Amino acid sequence: MSYKRQLLLIIALALAVRLVYVLQIKDLPFFATPVGDEAAYHRTAQVILEKDLAAGKRVFYQDPFYPYYLAAVYSFFGQNTVVPKAIQLFAGVLCALLIFYAARAVFAPPEAAIAGIIAAVYPLFFFFEAQLLKSSLVVLLTVTAFYMLLSYHGKRRGRLLFFSGACLSAAIVAQGHSYFYVPFILWWLFKLDAGLALKQKLSRLALFCAGASVFIVPVAVRNYAVSGDFVLTTYQAGTNFYIGNNASATGIYSPLREGRELPPFEEIDAVALAEAGAGRRLSPSEISSYWFKKGFDFIAGSPARYGRLLARKAVLYVNNLEAPDVIDYYFIKDRSFLFNIPLLSFGIICPLAILGIFFTLRDKSQKVTLLRYFVIASFLSVILFYVFSRYRLQGVPFIIIFAAAALSRVGRFYREKRGKTLVAVAIALAALVWLSHYDTAVTTPGLGYDVTATMYMDKGDFEKAAEYFRQAIGKKPNNLSVQLKLHSNLARCYFELAQYGRAAAEYDAALEILRRNGPPSDKQAEAAMQMGLGFIFQRTREYDKAVAIFEEVRDKDPGRLDVRVTLANIYKKQGKLKSAVEEFDYVLSIDTANIVACNNLANIYRDTGKFAEARRYYQRCLEIAPGNPVVTKNVERLKDYEKRKE
């Protein structure tokens, strides 16, 4: 196939799969509504658009490049979140072409064609391109930096070095892991021409570093200006390092506090826990240092355990597992045939790349060496922290190029009829594929269904939410808190749909899971499930059953004032006014500003003809909340009661 036809094929394939993919996911709630990190980036972009170009008065915790990109897009096209995704999808086509050109520069046309085609249709690329995340732009910037370095190798033009550095600088400001590429590039540049004078070599390094400072320096200056603290880009690195290197680490992401994975909680918890541990207020750089120290303390104190953890992360890096984010790859995989095309998973491409690296070990050319360096930089940047699908994505273009080299070499073996070699290659590939598909059991199945269901529930579409919660439960998540949340949320959906029997069954299922887990059970979670059942019986007017449940919860935790208020309201409906008054009095003795208890107690006194007491409690309500419309209306009704009595 001619060079021109190869280019057209790559462009056509890249455009086609992206169009099909968008048509497949456009009706899912998260396509148009930002969620998780997307929502955080979207909010920061809105802050920037509101004439706060510094994006706040605090040191950046999250990488700042992407919010500024969003703000720039929004300034031209309005705050339509689909537009930046469309730009990213088209940029993905450009990225596939750059991978084609890079492979052609490193190897030869056959490898370039294979790499370009794989890059055009690789599902993880367009999966992230269609999200409001930095990942696809980081890939594009890194590949561009790599291709400019290859071009510099051929042309020795200084501006290529500068622009390569600038692209990597943007990638660093977009994703801090990109720092790992810098020392490898500097070493490669230093060794590029053995006979070159030291002064010329240093001049070359300075030119690249000048480019690499283009985005980093302004961010560092901005951070210092708003805080007086020197932080190059963000103060998140220490937290990320600790998350990946502690006694409880699994190799993938887990929040500092369970159930608080979302961006606002991440920063709050990182600061609060660090300052609690240090016993004083800390600057952003000190917070990052605190978490780095905790991570290094674990490494120094448990070297054997750390070695096993590091090995586990290395296995996870080459594993077929796509460590899930808020938008789950496996949820999309269940819905798109594009994600099920044979030979296009990381679990196939990575083993091929390992073979490609092996096949090219004797190739000492500087271009192949640079390619190796980029793979090593990606590998280290991930396993020294924790394995995340979108962090690993940055190294995938270079892995694809090595995979293309392996396929090209296997094709040559076939043409040369080297049967024994082909058998050996097949055995090695089979072993590597087995390793890459080894079940690591570190994720929670059904995450994507849970997120989608929750979004439908938040929109009030309880029918669809229930459908996705059922599917999430069917995935048999292995995390207890996730199981409880799914059954509880499904029960809520059924409750809103007036399917009370099914709602009760879900709460019963959640309670059974809790009790089966063995002592000590989660008393707070158990109370929440019991109260859910109680509310169902309250709605269906089975007051005796409701009272039995709420009394049990109250007796286990007498301090639960919300339980006592609910119980008092049910007592009132049953005509047990004395019991109701006792509960409301207890609540007000603890929480003197509880306007619900105060107002409902006043209503009881009004309805029983004790108008003076009623007036006293209504007046107390108005002192708590002056002008409250509900209380004001009740005061008017009290006057009517008094007139009728006269």
Is 347 or 638 the better-scoring residue by pLDDT?
A: 347
3-state secondary structure of 51: coil
Mean pLDDT over 406-433 rounds to 92
- In one-letter notation, the amino acid at residue 555 is D
Q: How many CA atoms lie within 13 A of 318 on its CB side?
A: 20
Q: Which of 382, 403, 420 is the last residue of a domain?
A: 420
- Cα three-residue angle 321-324-330, rounded to 5 degrees: 70
Q: Which of 393, 420, 447 is the last residue of a domain?
A: 420
- How would residue 557 be classed by pLDDT, with cut points 50, 70 and 90? confident
Mean pLDDT over 39-46 rounds to 89
Helix runs in 279-418, H state only: 284-301, 303-317, 329-333, 346-359, 366-383, 389-392, 396-415
- How would residue 519 be classed by pLDDT, with cut points 50, 70 and 90? low
Q: How many CA atoms lie within 13 A of 29 on its CB side?
A: 19
- How would residue 262 be classed by pLDDT, with cut points 50, 70 and 90? low
CB 595 within 8 A of CB 628: yes
Helix (H) or strand (E) holding 528: helix 523-539
Check residue 509 and give its pLDDT. Answer: 87
- How would residue 474 be classed by pLDDT, with cut points 50, 70 and 90? confident
Is 636 or 295 the better-scoring residue by pLDDT?
A: 295
Q: State pLDDT tens for residues 614-628.
A: 888 889 999 888 988
Q: Which of 403, 420, 437 is the last residue of a domain?
A: 420
Tokens describing residue 278: 């240090």
Q: Which of 47-56, 180-189, 504-513, 598-607 tops mean pLDDT?
A: 180-189
Q: Per the domain annotation, does 541 fall within a domain?
A: no
Measured between alpha carbons, how far is 24 from 337 in angstroms, rounded to an integer? Answer: 10
Measured between alpha carbons, how far is 450 from 79 in angstroms, rounded to an integer? Answer: 27
Q: Per the domain annotation, does 124 fall within a domain?
A: yes
Q: In percent, how much of the chain has pLDDT > 90?
A: 48
Measured between alpha carbons, how far is 563 from 108 in angstroms, rounded to an integer? Answer: 73
Check residue 28 and give its pLDDT. Answer: 84
b/e burial code for range 566-600 (CB count within 10 A of at least 16 → b): bbbbbbbeeebeebbbebbebbbeeeeebbbbbbb
Q: Per the domain annotation, does 438 fall within a domain?
A: no
Phi, psi of 345 (to 5 degrees): -95, 160
Residue 163 has pLDDT above 90, yes or no: yes
3-state helix, strand, coil in the chain (%, to 5): 75, 0, 25
Handedness of CA 326, 330, 333, 339 (dihedral sign): positive
Q: Per the domain annotation, does 283 fall within a domain?
A: no
Q: State pLDDT tens for residues 239-253.
A: 999 999 999 898 888
The domain total for the chain is 2
Tokens describing residue 544: 């005796």
Measured between alpha carbons, how far is 131 from 33 in angstroms, rounded to an integer? Answer: 10
Beta strands in 29-95 (DSSP E): none
CB 480 within 8 A of CB 517: yes
Residue 310 has pLDDT above 90, yes or no: yes
Residue 160 has pLDDT above 90, yes or no: yes
- How would residue 640 be classed by pLDDT, with cut points 50, 70 and 90? confident
Q: State pLDDT tens for residues 215-232.
A: 999 999 999 998 888 999
Q: Per the domain annotation, does 279 fall within a domain?
A: no
237 CB neighbour count, 10 Å cutoff:
19
CB 242 within 8 A of CB 199: no
Check residue 181 and give its pLDDT. Answer: 97
Question: What integer best gives the mean pLDDT of the chain?
Answer: 89
- How would residue 521 be classed by pLDDT, with cut points 50, 70 and 90? low
Q: The domain containing residue 21 runs over which residues? A: 3-232+323-420
- How would residue 396 be classed by pLDDT, with cut points 50, 70 and 90? very high
Mean pLDDT over 389-405 rounds to 96
CB 176 within 8 A of CB 236: yes
Measured between alpha carbons, how far is 184 from 378 in angstroms, rounded to an integer? Answer: 11
CB 253 within 8 A of CB 243: yes
Q: Per the domain annotation, does 415 fall within a domain?
A: yes
Tokens describing residue 443: 């994720």
